[in-house]
């Protein structure tokens, strides 16, 4: 079973839920923010930890983050296939001893990302162009944990993806969002209607490139999980 951890009611599984269903992959959504309990790693084939508006250090306001961190630490120790997305990637970096900072590398909207040489060889990015389109929505960003491998970068935010161990990945970008999710996030900002409509229009314009790469990334992750199991 693949476990999907949702940290924020406004940050859903998006297109990845549909893709898991279409691939007939058994999966379960757990919402720790709503008091739902995380299972032990021995029950899982893989885990995906989604993003959220909170920061990794906001445990006083969001105490469930401590439980999510403990779960991710168990995944790392077991080298269970794990994909941390945005906040999930930041939590992973924090668990592995790296700094997560605010305000320095923030991004919103459609941005290009480039694979490193190591990223071009990594199974998570098989079949994905060396330069590909991502959707970004973050103020915080992670440093690289000791012993990790940088897989993707950009001028706006140099640490976009890393691997630690053989099967554990952290991403800064959002491969799972849909047009509806982008629209909801954009409306939630203080931007004027014309500004948030620009986010949606830009996403729609780049969707023909974004969607295949995002789908391939999840397919690669699931393939990796099957090989491990």
Strand partners, 141: 101
Identify the active-site residue in 111, 138, 167, 174. 174
pLDDT of residue 194: 60
Q: How far is residue 45's CA from residue 82's CA, in Å, rounded to a whole number?
A: 9
Kindly report the CATH number assigned to the domain that includes residue 44: 3.40.50.880
pLDDT in tens, 111-169: 999 999 999 999 999 999 999 999 999 999 999 999 999 999 999 999 999 999 999 99
Identify the active-site residue in 75, 86, 96, 157. 86
Find, among 125, 70, 114, the residue nearest to 92 by Cα: 70
pLDDT in tens, 15-63: 999 999 999 999 999 999 999 999 999 989 999 999 999 999 999 999 9
Residue 53 burial by CB count (10 A; 0-12/13-18/19+): exposed, middle or buried? middle
Buried b (16+ CB within 10 A) or exposed e, 94-103: bbbebebeee
Answer positive or negative: Cα dihedral of 209, 177, 123, 112.
positive
Find, among 166, 175, 216, the residue nearest to 48 by Cα: 175
Q: Are the C-beta atoms of residues 13 and 176 closer than 8 Å to each other?
A: yes
Examine the residue annotation and report whether 86 is marked as an active-site residue of this protein: yes
Q: How many domains is the chain built from?
A: 1
H-helix or E-strand spanning residue 202: helix 193-228
Identify the active-site residue in 111, 131, 176, 205. 176
Token pair, residue 172, equals 């800064």
How is residue 189 annotated by DSSP? S
Q: How far is residue 159's CA from residue 26's CA, in Å, rounded to a whole number?
A: 31
pLDDT of residue 229: 64
Give the three-class secondary structure for 43: helix
Residues 6+ apart with CB under 8 A from 13: 4, 6, 29, 48, 50, 176
Examine the residue annotation and report whether 176 is marked as an active-site residue of this protein: yes
Domain that holds residue 150: 2-228
């Amino acid at each position: 079973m693949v476990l999907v951890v949702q940290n924020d009611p406004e940050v859903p599984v998006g297109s990845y839920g549909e893709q898991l269903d279409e691939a007939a992959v058994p999966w379960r959504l757990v919402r720790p923010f709503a008091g739902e309990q995380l299972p032990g790693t021995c029950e899982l084939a893989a885990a995906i930890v989604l993003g959220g508006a909170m920061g990794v250090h906001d445990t006083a306001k969001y105490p469930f983050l401590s439980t999510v961190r403990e779960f991710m630490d168990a995944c790392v120790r077991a080298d269970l296939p794990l994909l941390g997305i945005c906040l999930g990637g930041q939590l992973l970096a924090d668990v592995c001893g790296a700094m997560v900072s605010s305000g320095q590398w923030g991004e919103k909207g459609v941005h290009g990302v480039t694979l490193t040489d190591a990223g071009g060889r990594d199974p998570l990015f098989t079949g994905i162009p060396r330069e590909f389109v991502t959707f970004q929505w973050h103020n915080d960003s992670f440093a690289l944990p000791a012993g990790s491998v940088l897989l993707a970068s950009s001028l706006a935010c140099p640490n976009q993806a890393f691997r630690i161990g053989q099967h554990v990945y952290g991403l800064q970008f959002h491969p799972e969002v849909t047009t509806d999710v982008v629209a909801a996030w954009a409306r939630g900002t203080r931007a004027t209607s014309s500004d948030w409509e620009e986010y949606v229009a830009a996403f729609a314009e780049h969707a023909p490139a974004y969607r295949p790469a995002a789908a391939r990334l999840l397919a690669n992750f699931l393939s990796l999980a099957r090989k491990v199991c």
